[in-house]
């Protein structure tokens, strides 16, 4: 799947700074490095001698923050957020960090992911008298902390022990910054020592921008509290196995990030190698390998290395097509593909091409790309997908929450190949993904329906789909 129009979107990225001068400015650079995780809105909250300040808005980090704003965000602790909305709308009330100015506790919350039992928790909290300002499920965290008892750390523990889902969360208070990761480790969150303090980020690529060095991942079910006297590790749930979202490696994360000890670029290269080995065994004849830019480039490099075929730039991406062109109708999508991608005719004309893409969601984009290549004179287009077919929706913060939008839930490989008008098509097996990444600690629910959490009200979507299938 190219980064075009029918792309998967993830719900957000978080970045925090603790006990480093000018924390908000550092957060700006951190969020900039995480911009690929969400472009709809962003915000930074900082704490200066007990005064909580924030600025947030709709748009890119470079659009929302300008020098006069940054000058107002003082203090040596800050948290920030980039948003893509899957749960809740993209109204300004849902842009984070969310602030709570309670008599005893002033705090801000930045949350990436999805709370699966959000509906149930909201009903419960409203029955208890809580009033919600927005529709984002992140607001639930604020209310749960407010209602809990004990020290601030104990309140956080109580709140998160009630939540089920996939998330990375940062909380800023007078007591420092708290980093919390879901107990299945579905969403990434790591930290780095930086000068006399710490940086915390959804992805390690944001540390590199600031010349910070990745220290550790926050463990599943763990709360890491960064405070003036150092770091305290605590848990709100017992240790669980990590089930990192496989799509982080396949598509979402930047190739220079390291997630749970695995470099994303290297993981993608290994998938390309794996696909090439299979094609070698099947005696596939081709002239060149191309990747759909940008997230498929690493896998295409791996394929080329293993197959001995030249890696070529067959497709070029127009980087300046704005978000305004991400439109929901089919016609707009089709036009958008042409605006965003072009085939380089002298490269592809007269060639048998292996085209590597990272995944297929609706199939519309892949079909258009095959068409682009053939119109530019490609003799054959063999589509290789560096992930298994997406046949189940994701309820963990990725915006594929219905079966209708997943073409592989309706078509088998052969039918899909015919729909794409490709000369051949193949996906990876889950076992190939596991051996390429050299870890079994993956969530693969969108490929096989093996959800790692209870699904609460989302379970009905699965039941309805399965009953139609029977
Ligand atoms: S269901 Fe898929 S997209 Fe969602 S968390 Fe699991 S692997 Fe990631």
Residue nearest to atom 4 of ligand 1 (CA): 394
Among residues 12, 42, 169, 274, the one annotated as catalytic is 12
How many other CB atoms sit within 10 Å of the CB of residue 67? Answer: 7
Residue nearest to atom 2 of ligand 1 (CA): 446
Q: What atom in ligand 1 is closest to the CA of residue 395?
A: 4
Ligand 1 lined by 396 (C-beta under 6 Å) = yes
Tell me the CA–centroid distance for residue 446 and ligand 1, in Å. Answer: 5
Tell me the CA–centroid distance for residue 402 and ligand 1, in Å. Answer: 13
Ligand 1 lined by 247 (C-beta under 6 Å) = yes
Q: Residue 242 contacts by C-beta under 8 Å, 6 or more apart in sequence?
A: 184, 185, 220, 260, 441
Tell me the CA–centroid distance for residue 166 and ligand 1, in Å. Answer: 9
State the angle between helix axes of 330-340 and 364-375 in degrees (0 to 180), rounded to the nearest 10.
50
Instruction: Give the three-class secondary structure for 240.
Output: coil
What is the set of domains in the chain, with CATH numbers?
Answer: 13-259 (3.60.20.10), 266-469 (3.40.50.2020)
Give CA separation, 361 vs 6, 19, 422, 424, in Å: 7, 42, 16, 18
Ligand 1 lined by 398 (C-beta under 6 Å) = yes
The residues facing 342 across adjacent strands are: 316
Residue 47 contacts residue 227 (beta carbons within 8 Å)? no
Residue nearest to atom 8 of ligand 1 (CA): 245
Angle value at C-alpha 148, between 145 and 127, nearest 5 degrees = 85
Instruction: Indicate the DSSP class of residue 150.
Output: S
Q: pLDDT tens, position by position, for the chain (470 residues)?
A: 544 335 676 668 999 999 999 999 999 999 999 999 988 899 999 999 999 999 999 999 999 999 999 999 999 999 999 998 655 566 777 889 999 987 778 999 999 999 999 999 999 999 999 999 888 788 999 999 999 999 999 999 999 999 999 999 999 999 999 999 999 999 999 999 999 999 999 999 999 999 999 999 999 999 999 998 999 999 999 877 889 999 999 999 999 999 999 999 999 999 999 999 999 999 999 999 999 998 899 999 999 999 999 999 999 988 776 543 344 455 665 666 677 889 999 999 999 999 999 999 989 889 999 999 999 999 999 999 999 999 999 999 887 767 888 999 999 999 999 999 999 999 999 999 999 999 999 999 999 999 999 888 888 888 777 776 65
Ligand 1 lined by 5 (C-beta under 6 Å) = no
Residue 274 among the catalytic residues: no
Look up the pTM and report it: 0.93
How many other CB atoms sit within 10 Å of the CB of residue 125? Answer: 19
Residue nearest to atom 5 of ligand 1 (CA): 245
Q: What atom in ligand 1 is closest to the CA of residue 8?
A: 3
Cα–chain center distance at 380: 33
Ligand 1 lined by 186 (C-beta under 6 Å) = yes
Burial grade of 45 (CB within 10 A; 0-12, 13-18, 19 or more): buried
Tell me the CA–centroid distance for residue 406 and ligand 1, in Å. Answer: 13
Tell me the CA–centroid distance for residue 245 and ligand 1, in Å. Answer: 5
């Amino acid at each position: 799947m190219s980064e075009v129009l029918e792309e998967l979107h993830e719900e957000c990225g978080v970045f925090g700074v603790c006990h480093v001068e000018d924390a908000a400015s550092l957060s700006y650079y951190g969020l900039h490095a995480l911009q690929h995780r969400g472009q709809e809105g962003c915000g930074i909250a900082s704490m200066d001698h007990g005064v909580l300040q924030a600025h947030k808005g709709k748009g890119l980090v470079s659009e929302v923050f300008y020098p006069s704003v940054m000058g107002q965000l003082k203090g040596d602790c800050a948290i920030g957020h980039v948003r893509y909305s899957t749960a809740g709308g993209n109204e300004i009330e849902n842009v984070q960090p969310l602030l709570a100015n309670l008599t005893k506790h002033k705090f801000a919350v930045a949350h990436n992911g999805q709370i699966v039992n959000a509906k149930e928790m909201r009903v419960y909290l409203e029955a208890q008298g809580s009033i919600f300002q927005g529709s984002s499920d992140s607001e639930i965290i604020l209310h749960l902390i407010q209602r809990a008892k004990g020290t601030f750390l104990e309140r956080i523990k109580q709140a998160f022990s009630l939540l089920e889902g996939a998330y990375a969360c940062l909380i800023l208070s007078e007591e420092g910054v708290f980093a919390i990761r879901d107990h299945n480790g579905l969403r990434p969150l790591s930290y780095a020592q930086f000068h006399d303090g710490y940086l915390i980020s959804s992805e390690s690529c944001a540390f590199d921008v600031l010349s910070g060095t990745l220290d550790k991942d926050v463990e599943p079910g763990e709360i890491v509290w960064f405070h003036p006297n150092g770091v305290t590790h605590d848990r709100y749930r017992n240790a669980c196995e990590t089930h990192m979202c496989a799509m982080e490696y396949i598509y979402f994360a930047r190739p220079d990030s390291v997630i749970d000890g695995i470099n994303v670029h290297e993981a993608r290269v290994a998938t390309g190698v794996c696909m090439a080995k299979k094609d070698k065994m099947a005696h596939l004849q081709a002239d060149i390998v191309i990747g759909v830019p940008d997230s498929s480039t690493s896998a295409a490099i791996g394929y080329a290395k293993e197959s001995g075929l030249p890696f070529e730039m067959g497709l070029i991406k127009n980087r300046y097509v704005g978000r305004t062109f991400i439109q929901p109708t089919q016609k707009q999508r089709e036009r958008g593909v042409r605006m965003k991608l072009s085939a380089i005719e002298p490269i592809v004309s007269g060639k048998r091409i292996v085209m590597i893409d990272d995944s297929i969601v609706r199939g519309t984009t892949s079909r258009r790309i095959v068409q682009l290549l053939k119109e530019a004179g490609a003799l054959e287009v063999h589509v290789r997908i560096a992930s298994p077919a997406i046949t189940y929706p994701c309820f963990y913060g990725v915006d594929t929450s219905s079966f209708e939008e997943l073409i592989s839930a309706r078509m088998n490989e052969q039918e899909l190949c015919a729909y794409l008008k490709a000369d051949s098509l193949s996906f990876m097996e889950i076992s190939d993904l596991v051996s390429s990444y050299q870890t079994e600690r993956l969530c693969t629910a969108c490929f096989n329906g093996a959800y790692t959490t209870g699904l609460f009200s989302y379970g009905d979507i699965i039941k309805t789909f399965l009953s139609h299938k029977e």
